[in-house]
Structure 1
Amino acid sequence: MAKTILITGAGSGFGEGAAIGLARAGHSVIATAQVAPQVSQLRRRAQDLGVQLRVEKLDLHDHYDLAYAHTWDIDILVNNAAIGECGPISEIPLDLVRRTFETNMFKPLLLTQGFVKRWVAEKKAGKIVFISSMGGLFTPPGYAAYTAAKHAIEGMAESLRQELTPFGIKVQTINPGAYFTGFNETMADTPFRWLDDSKNFTKRADLRALFDSLLETPSGKLDPAELIDAMVKIIPSGEGKYRNVIPQFVEDEVKKDQAEKWEARI
């Protein structure tokens, strides 16, 4: 059955790919982007592809945008919009951590609460999908600002899942591995705006080498088409796993890492 699906952060990457894929599958998709140029670009791309796609501006920090979004009648909310900040958590400026949590956790929660309130009042069996991350389940060094916000999403989603079950509202997470959309690579550049060898004990060359060791490998440059195909199947489905870590080898690695944490020693 065709669904009406709202996707945030659809101006690029997974959001854009999933929006187009879901529209091609026959769903009514409201693809939202943060800024007007992204809106225009996505509208042109959908037109060029012959895809029926409604594209709207939705900046989660703009309360007028949020109020307008809450008037849309949707079946499924996909919280995909996010920003990436990283660097040593022992030295990262605190305002960058706050900004990450504001965009990646607090604003999606605010958007979600508005739709949940409406669905409960209307006795509508909606669905919420959080695009989390493998980083919501473990934290490599240098990425804690981003992964801590994703850990927060995991906690929020788990509580929502239990709270909303009595109302027929379903909750899922999708936890991508290191797919090559450019997001991870751009995020890895963020600390070099402020990291200063004359002031910080974390040295720029050491941090760059760490990021390269994580990203410049086959497992750090996975084909995003795999994840987008999975999103197109998972998002509209009324059945399936609550947590979806993709690909399988990443799920296996995350489970191994979590098991090892129980035996880790200081």
Structure 2
Amino acid sequence: MKYCTQCGNEINAHQRFCNRCGHDLKAFEQYRDSEIYFQPQPSESYQPKRKVWPWVVIGMLIIAIIFASSLTYYFFFIKDEQHTPNETTTTQHTSKTEKQTGEHKVSNDPKKSEKHESEKEKENKVKSPKIDVMSEDFERTYMQSNNLGGYMGVRKGMSHSEVEKIVGKPTGTLKVDGFKWESTKYGNLTVDYDNKGDDGKVIAVGVSPDHVTTSEFLEHYPAYDDYSGSEIVYNNFKGNGYLVAVDIDHGYIAKIQCLAE
């Protein structure tokens, strides 16, 4: 059964108008259906609002990463480079100042002054050269090279004082049996002067090894051209203007010298 929505009178299911009040029942049903089932459509111009906060967060993260990278680069690269030259300059300046102060400082104590001078001489002392005649370096720079003009910085025509600036003070003399000449030794380096006095000039430079037997030397340098009891001659490259002569003294190598061919 159905009832009129206007007066409550009982009506049939297919009845259009109420038989009591005359109310249009179909019009009511259409209005009700439109209220229930009507869903408004969004306007074409309507655009949903986009969320902004994710982009804000991403932007802040990018800025933080850039800032952290800049700080890291500054502290690990730029700052260290700035400090290093400053520290080096400061250290050099301090050392120079201390050196100048030490040089100009005069002690009233004679013992301290003497000790200071002794230490200064030790610092300025040039070490005499040590030469390994069995090394590849000597074989290349002496046995296979033209050293007629000199060796290890000592050249023909130099004075005693010039030689000593390079190789220090003499450490002894070398005199080989059967030879008239006498060489001045500076470590393993031998120098022949044209005059024994201080005004003498260098005329030859050689090498005198320590405790190298003739057999050891020949085993290391077997390609000789001539060998007698007192001398070994190496002249493997004929016509190059020089040869190497090795003097023997009582079974030991006394002196190695480059001579004109």
The TM-score normalised by the length of structure 2 is 0.21
The TM-score normalised by the length of structure 1 is 0.21
Larger radius of gyration: 2
**Which structure dedicates a bigger proportion of its chain to strand?**
2
**Which structure dedicates a bigger proportion of its chain to helix?**
1
